[in-house]
Structure 1
Amino acid sequence: MDARTTARRITRAAGLALAVALTVTACGSGSGGSADGAVRSDPPAQGANDINPRPAEQVRDGGEVRYPLYQWITQWNPYQVDGTYGDAVEIMRALEPNLFRVDAGGTFQPVADYLVDAKVTSTSPQVITYRLNPKARWSDGKPLSALDFKAVWQTAGGKDPAYNISNSSGYELISGVEQGADPTEVKVTFAEPYSDWQNLFRPLIPAAGIATPEAFNTGWVEKIPITAGPFRIGTADKTAQTLQLVPDPNWWGQKPKLEKVTYRVMTQAATTQAFLNNEIDFAAAGTATAYGQLKDAKDAVIRSASPWDEVHISFGGGGALADRKVRQALGRALDRQSLIKIANNGVPVEFKLLGNHIFMPNQAGYQDNSGEWGRFDLAAAGKLLDEAGWKADGAGRPRTKDGQALELHWVLNDGTTQAQVDLATAAQAMWLAAGVKVDIDKVPSNDFFAKYVNQGKFDIASWRNTDSFPLSSSLSNFRLPQGDNVFGNYSKLGSPEIDALLKKAAGTVDPVEAAKLYNQADAGIWELGHTVELYQRPSVVAVRKGLANDGAFGLASQDLTLTGWEK
């Protein structure tokens, strides 16, 4: 159930943090899984995490922590549309200025290594004044400055289509960036109020690295030209699929505890054995098979928490799926509770049915907006397909229209576990009962996002949206594409009404009023037939005994400088 990409808290910089396809969350009757005999606890509460917290003086200096990586990272610019892969965004937070961290309660906290303070200094118009730590410098020797904030705004704001951005939310509302009273002060002015301003410029990247569209789009491919974090890249061996971070000797803040942090690309299925072989120090433990093997393993500790992490099935917008009624029919033909049982088999934390695309059940403002569109009703699915002109052709046969069979393709990561195949096969059978033939097409792990999901080349696909937090970042997932830029909306489905509601909510400072708007937008997303939500995915992970300040972070983000081994 758990994957490194989300368990390590990918609070998003700009755009969607994506983990491996649903494969990493599902578990079922595959090899090693038994009947559902796990004694389940309720999902961990909001505000809780499980990381073995230790102050710096109780963590020894030196040592190495080894993590799995589910695909080789090609694009390192987190503001570029291909740079939103979860592990890449998280690693960048150790290499570039992470102005704010999120605590276990989901509240932003300024990072003193970069900020003396940051606050709203005017409300009409809204002005945010950042006071930078004068010690903060880029690896090229230049101090952090208003020039860097301005460059991120101008590139990520979406006004110049030559910059292939992932998400303009918040940035498009900025009207100006300028130096304040001195070079360490930056003033950001908004044309419209924006409640989630602390999520902007996370991480900050240097103006020198994104000065032109070419630099923005390709200058961070297979390299990170300039850094300003506690770590830097030590080695990046694409042949061996191994990446290593080491402390940056020019770092001005608290020295990292670890001597090196090593990431090695492997499939989700391989992580359990790699942990048991003492090749990695962190592994997902959320499938029946993985949990069963890891819970009593030597030197293993199981940790769990509730992050912003949802499992869903997305529909494309081409071919037969261009008709909303066909997409709605696919949703109504799915028995979501039965699919969740497959995923929850043998896992010690209960999965709850998710009825919202924007809020998690443990967030204030959550309500179930799925209505009829998330309710299993085979007859209703058939009626929708009839209305769309797809005629039934007998039990077990696909419907037809104008001589064509209703046949769709589910793109599946070939690194998936048997459990995910079980889930996909169950959904496949449900759809066939409605007269929709679905073929499951496995594709290489490294191609799943880059060549299929990111390109919108799928009829059906499953992945996880992680840390869509704060709420305004959800705009990226559902907004209408602009030209070739799909932002994070890989289905390319949307409406002006949904866009307007999400944008209005993002500018609403009152959280109660904002929640009403977000829920109205969510109801529209359900009716659109964009995505069928399944469940919030608790993180359940195995870590090596003695590992401090790491594990299941819940809503919090990680401080890698404090991660290490207990004294």
Structure 2
Amino acid sequence: MSRSTTTRRLGRAAAAALAVALAATACSSGSGGSGDVAKNVVPTQDAEDSNPQPLEKIKDGGEFRPPLQQWITQWNPYQVDGTYGDAVEIMGYVEAKLFRSDAKGVFHAVPEYLQSAEVTSTSPQVVTYKLNPKAKWSDGKPLGYQDFKAVWEASNGKNSAYNLSDSSGYEQISNVEQGADPTEVKVTFSEPYADWQNLFNPLLPAAGLATPDAFNDGWVEKIPIWGGPFKPGTLDKAAQTITLVPNPDWWGPKPKLDKITYRVLASPAITQAFLNNEVDYASAGSASAYGQLKDAKDGVIRTGTPWDEVHISFGGSGALADQSVRQALGKALDRAALIKIVNQGVPVEFKPLGNHLFMTNQTGYQDNAGDWVKFDPAAAKSLLDKAGWKEAAAGQPRTKDGQSLELHFVVSDGSTQAQLDMATAVQNMLQQVGVKLTVDKVPSKEYFTKYVNEGKFDLASWRNTGSFPLSKGVANYRAPQGDNVFGNFSRLSTPEIDSLLRKAAATLDPAEAAKLYNQADVRIWELGHTVELYQRPSIVAVRKGLANYGAGSLADTDITKVGWEK
């Protein structure tokens, strides 16, 4: 499965395809082009394929039917359970999305909400927002400083009653106040924060965040207030469908679509649903899915290179509380062989990834994996020996203090065969160094909520998507605070990593920030936190005629421009 973890989770809504990690999917962000699959997608900062069309070539009306892989329970993207990629994407359509990024990851203010937004002082850093006076919430209230203040107060980490997903950026703010008039907002920072455009995005109304109860529970199974081009239509849990319809009070360009219908389907069912003309979008990222979808009637395959990575995370308890054991597992895994398993039958190459924070097509990327995940079973055995895990009889797990070295790999029961084959390969690789690994299938709808989010795994694999700008990756590796793990489900961290990430996020010079992020990444590899596998291209089947939506890069979807060609 895929999450929009603190990966740009509050900015761009997880630009990802539905698909191929040992767990399942997220959502998609769009972009256009030909229907032929490139034999090898070379990552560039603007590689995308969303069939871009001018508005005059798109008809008014029509329905778009994307799939969902799980029912959305928590709609507040600032709350820790609200980070599921599809939910974040949808909230960008129904709430105030202040900024959208282009294909190169450059932010642009959305004029329906902002007349301007700029740094008006650097010592201290002050950002002044000039709001569009037409912008208003569904309860009739205009957008104002109180909304910014409510998001900040709920997300700055000072009140533990707010079960927040990530305090990055908000904890650096010292004040939020009205400016020269009610349409002006001044945000003052106690220390510099480079990615300020990613904050308050989407902006939510103060009325929905004013108390911890409202923040944590007021968005469960409902969207109480909205302020985007679309609004909630129906949230039918029994039918497992969610519909969006145009907001009749929207003050911006009228959306082309008159309905978006999301339908919850298990991963294997999405392919058949596309073939049956029941959904208009499906992952083609596995061999089986691609084989069925490449010649689908009224379908076209599109590819792109978004911020999208697949990894294996280690837990931080039991035997894995020992860093040497985690390092041993990293050396026992043959990454190239694992990538080959999931890449088989898919005509786009999955690129090995050597960085936790940068994708290969991002400025500043460098491969920091070094020897930490160099396939070396002998070195893995040596590390386990030093950690006190003694070799046993052939085929038997190592032992220490009367305990066997037995671990569990938690996978979703919605996994594709290729994903299960990869899990089996991991099992066999670890057996060669004396680690018994059991593959535990769990219900796909509970994979995150009951296992990953709760840290109930020794090994688990999922996709992080849309983790851009860089500061949004901080929460995946920062130190937990009490019960709040942010996005760090392994619960593994060090003060040095924490310090480097915070310093990087506060560095306004992109080149200097990149150096700090890479220094942190070296330490994350050394920590044995996560074994990065590959950057995953977006490979999707899209219904012919769908414009301005498909396989994305670093760009956000402008949902008002999505529609069907005339």
TM-score when normalising by structure 1: 0.95
SS in structure 1 opposite 2:428? helix
Q: Provide the C-alpha distance between the structure 2 equivalents of 1:486 and 1:14, rounded to a whole number of angstroms.
A: 20
Q: Find the counterpart in structure 1 of residue 34 from structure 2.
A: none
**2:28 equivalent to 1:13:** no
Measured after TM superposition, the shift of residue 371 of structure 1 is 1.0
Q: Find the counterpart in structure 1 of residue 31 from structure 2.
A: none
Measured after TM superposition, the shift of residue 5 of structure 1 is 7.4
**2:108 equivalent to 1:109:** yes
The question of whether the paired residues in 1 share the 8 Å contact of 2:151 and 2:203 is answered with: yes
Q: How does 1:212-361 map to 2 (within 5 A)?
A: 212-361=211-360
Measured after TM superposition, the shift of residue 289 of structure 1 is 1.2
Measured after TM superposition, the shift of residue 295 of structure 1 is 1.2
The question of whether the paired residues in 1 share the 8 Å contact of 2:286 and 2:416 is answered with: no
**2:139 equivalent to 1:140:** yes
Q: How does 1:193-208 map to 2 (within 5 A)?
A: 193-208=192-207
SS in structure 2 opposite 1:262? strand
- Provide runs of 4+ in structure 1 moved above 2 Å: 3-6, 14-21, 23-26, 42-45
Q: Find the counterpart in structure 2 of residue 425 from structure 1.
A: 424
Residues 24 and 390 of structure 1: CA distance in aligned 2, closer, same or farther (over 3 Å) = closer
Q: How does 1:490-505 map to 2 (within 5 A)?
A: 490-505=489-504
Measured after TM superposition, the shift of residue 57 of structure 1 is 1.7
Query: C-alpha offsets along residues 148-206 of structure 1, whole Å, 9 cap, x if unaligned?
Result: 00010111010111101100000000010000000000000101111100000011001
User: Which residue identity is paired with 1:49?
Assistant: E
Q: Provide the C-alpha distance between the structure 2 equivalents of 1:413 and 1:15, rounded to a whole number of angstroms.
A: 26
TM-score when normalising by structure 2: 0.95
Q: Provide the C-alpha distance between the structure 2 equivalents of 1:192 and 1:185, rounded to a whole number of angstroms.
A: 22
Q: Find the counterpart in structure 2 of residue 539 from structure 1.
A: 538
The question of whether the paired residues in 2 share the 8 Å contact of 1:126 and 1:189 is answered with: yes
User: Which residue identity is paired with 1:349?
Assistant: V
Q: How does 1:74-93 map to 2 (within 5 A)?
A: 74-93=73-92
Give the aligned length: 551
Higher mean Cα deviation, 288-297 or 351-360?
288-297
Residues 343 and 551 of structure 1: CA distance in aligned 2, closer, same or farther (over 3 Å) = same
Query: C-alpha offsets along residues 442-464 of structure 1, whole Å, 9 cap, x if unaligned?
Result: 11111111111111111111111
Q: Provide the C-alpha distance between the structure 2 equivalents of 1:493 and 1:415, rounded to a whole number of angstroms.
A: 27
Measured after TM superposition, the shift of residue 16 of structure 1 is 10
Measured after TM superposition, the shift of residue 395 of structure 1 is 2.7
Measured after TM superposition, the shift of residue 542 of structure 1 is 0.7
Q: Find the counterpart in structure 2 of residue 123 from structure 1.
A: 122
SS in structure 2 opposite 1:372? coil
Q: Provide the C-alpha distance between the structure 1 equivalents of 2:515 and 2:193, rounded to a whole number of angstroms.
A: 16
User: Which residue identity is paired with 1:404?
Assistant: Q
SS in structure 2 opposite 1:374? coil
User: Which residue identity is paired with 1:175?
Assistant: S
SS in structure 2 opposite 1:438? strand
Residues 16 and 332 of structure 1: CA distance in aligned 2, closer, same or farther (over 3 Å) = farther
Q: Provide the C-alpha distance between the structure 2 equivalents of 1:362 and 1:14, rounded to a whole number of angstroms.
A: 19
Q: Find the counterpart in structure 2 of residue 477 from structure 1.
A: 476
Q: Find the counterpart in structure 1 of residue 58 from structure 2.
A: 59
User: Which residue identity is paired with 2:536?
Assistant: R
Residues 103 and 118 of structure 1: CA distance in aligned 2, closer, same or farther (over 3 Å) = same
Q: How does 1:360-399 map to 2 (within 5 A)?
A: 360-399=359-398
Query: C-alpha offsets along residues 318-344 of structure 1, whole Å, 9 cap, x if unaligned?
Result: 111111111111111000000000111
Residues 81 and 16 of structure 1: CA distance in aligned 2, closer, same or farther (over 3 Å) = farther
**2:416 equivalent to 1:412:** no
Q: Provide the C-alpha distance between the structure 1 equivalents of 2:155 and 2:40, rounded to a whole number of angstroms.
A: 42
Q: Find the counterpart in structure 1 of residue 29 from structure 2.
A: none
**2:535 equivalent to 1:551:** no
Measured after TM superposition, the shift of residue 97 of structure 1 is 0.2
Q: Provide the C-alpha distance between the structure 1 equivalents of 2:145 and 2:536, rounded to a whole number of angstroms.
A: 39
- State the Cα RMSD in Å: 1.7
Query: C-alpha offsets along residues 246-282 of structure 1, whole Å, 9 cap, x if unaligned?
Result: 1111111111111100100011111111111000001
The question of whether the paired residues in 1 share the 8 Å contact of 2:23 and 2:444 is answered with: no
The question of whether the paired residues in 2 share the 8 Å contact of 1:11 and 1:557 is answered with: no
SS in structure 2 opposite 1:517? helix
Q: Provide the C-alpha distance between the structure 1 equivalents of 2:460 and 2:439, rounded to a whole number of angstroms.
A: 10
Q: Provide the C-alpha distance between the structure 2 equivalents of 1:472 and 1:83, rounded to a whole number of angstroms.
A: 18
The question of whether the paired residues in 1 share the 8 Å contact of 2:325 and 2:387 is answered with: yes
Q: Provide the C-alpha distance between the structure 2 equivalents of 1:11 and 1:486, rounded to a whole number of angstroms.
A: 17
Residues 73 and 486 of structure 1: CA distance in aligned 2, closer, same or farther (over 3 Å) = same
Query: C-alpha offsets along residues 290-331 of structure 1, whole Å, 9 cap, x if unaligned?
Result: 111111211111111100100000011011111111111111
User: Which residue identity is paired with 1:13?
Assistant: L
**2:486 equivalent to 1:487:** yes
Q: Provide the C-alpha distance between the structure 2 equivalents of 1:275 and 1:39, rounded to a whole number of angstroms.
A: 21
The question of whether the paired residues in 2 share the 8 Å contact of 1:235 and 1:244 is answered with: yes
The question of whether the paired residues in 2 share the 8 Å contact of 1:21 and 1:462 is answered with: no
Q: Provide the C-alpha distance between the structure 2 equivalents of 1:50 and 1:39, rounded to a whole number of angstroms.
A: 11
Structure 1, unaligned runs of 5 or more? 27-37
The question of whether the paired residues in 2 share the 8 Å contact of 1:16 and 1:477 is answered with: no
Measured after TM superposition, the shift of residue 411 of structure 1 is 0.9
The question of whether the paired residues in 1 share the 8 Å contact of 2:286 and 2:345 is answered with: yes
Measured after TM superposition, the shift of residue 374 of structure 1 is 1.3
Q: Provide the C-alpha distance between the structure 1 equivalents of 2:431 and 2:75, rounded to a whole number of angstroms.
A: 41
Measured after TM superposition, the shift of residue 48 of structure 1 is 2.3
Q: Provide the C-alpha distance between the structure 2 equivalents of 1:161 and 1:417, rounded to a whole number of angstroms.
A: 39
User: Which residue identity is paired with 1:202?
Assistant: N
Q: Provide the C-alpha distance between the structure 1 equivalents of 2:107 and 2:41, rounded to a whole number of angstroms.
A: 26
Measured after TM superposition, the shift of residue 40 of structure 1 is 2.7
User: Which residue identity is paired with 1:418?
Assistant: Q
**2:508 equivalent to 1:509:** yes
User: Which residue identity is paired with 2:97?
Assistant: N
Measured after TM superposition, the shift of residue 42 of structure 1 is 3.1
The question of whether the paired residues in 1 share the 8 Å contact of 2:13 and 2:89 is answered with: no
Q: Provide the C-alpha distance between the structure 2 equivalents of 1:15 and 1:260, rounded to a whole number of angstroms.
A: 22
Q: Provide the C-alpha distance between the structure 1 equivalents of 2:19 and 2:540, rounded to a whole number of angstroms.
A: 16
Query: C-alpha offsets along residues 228-255 of structure 1, whole Å, 9 cap, x if unaligned?
Result: 0111111111011111101111111111
Q: Provide the C-alpha distance between the structure 1 equivalents of 2:265 and 2:3, rounded to a whole number of angstroms.
A: 13
Aligned-residue sequence identity (percent) comes to 68
Measured after TM superposition, the shift of residue 44 of structure 1 is 4.2
The question of whether the paired residues in 1 share the 8 Å contact of 2:179 and 2:185 is answered with: yes
User: Which residue identity is paired with 1:440?
Assistant: V
The question of whether the paired residues in 2 share the 8 Å contact of 1:43 and 1:349 is answered with: no
Query: C-alpha offsets along residues 456-489 of structure 1, whole Å, 9 cap, x if unaligned?
Result: 1111111111111100111100001000000000
Q: Provide the C-alpha distance between the structure 2 equivalents of 1:451 and 1:64, rounded to a whole number of angstroms.
A: 34
The question of whether the paired residues in 2 share the 8 Å contact of 1:20 and 1:70 is answered with: no
Measured after TM superposition, the shift of residue 117 of structure 1 is 0.8
SS in structure 2 opposite 1:328? helix
Q: Provide the C-alpha distance between the structure 1 equivalents of 2:12 and 2:537, rounded to a whole number of angstroms.
A: 22
Measured after TM superposition, the shift of residue 88 of structure 1 is 0.4
Q: Provide the C-alpha distance between the structure 2 equivalents of 1:471 and 1:44, rounded to a whole number of angstroms.
A: 18
Q: Find the counterpart in structure 1 of residue 160 from structure 2.
A: 161
The question of whether the paired residues in 2 share the 8 Å contact of 1:359 and 1:365 is answered with: yes
The question of whether the paired residues in 2 share the 8 Å contact of 1:15 and 1:81 is answered with: no
Q: Provide the C-alpha distance between the structure 2 equivalents of 1:515 and 1:374, rounded to a whole number of angstroms.
A: 22
Q: How does 1:24-35 map to 2 (within 5 A)?
A: none
Q: Provide the C-alpha distance between the structure 1 equivalents of 2:407 and 2:421, rounded to a whole number of angstroms.
A: 18
Measured after TM superposition, the shift of residue 45 of structure 1 is 2.2
The question of whether the paired residues in 2 share the 8 Å contact of 1:14 and 1:166 is answered with: no
The question of whether the paired residues in 1 share the 8 Å contact of 2:384 and 2:390 is answered with: yes
Q: Provide the C-alpha distance between the structure 1 equivalents of 2:557 and 2:502, rounded to a whole number of angstroms.
A: 29
Q: Provide the C-alpha distance between the structure 1 equivalents of 2:553 and 2:271, rounded to a whole number of angstroms.
A: 22
Q: Provide the C-alpha distance between the structure 2 equivalents of 1:24 and 1:163, rounded to a whole number of angstroms.
A: 28
SS in structure 1 opposite 2:560? coil
User: Which residue identity is paired with 2:517?
Assistant: Y
Measured after TM superposition, the shift of residue 56 of structure 1 is 1.6
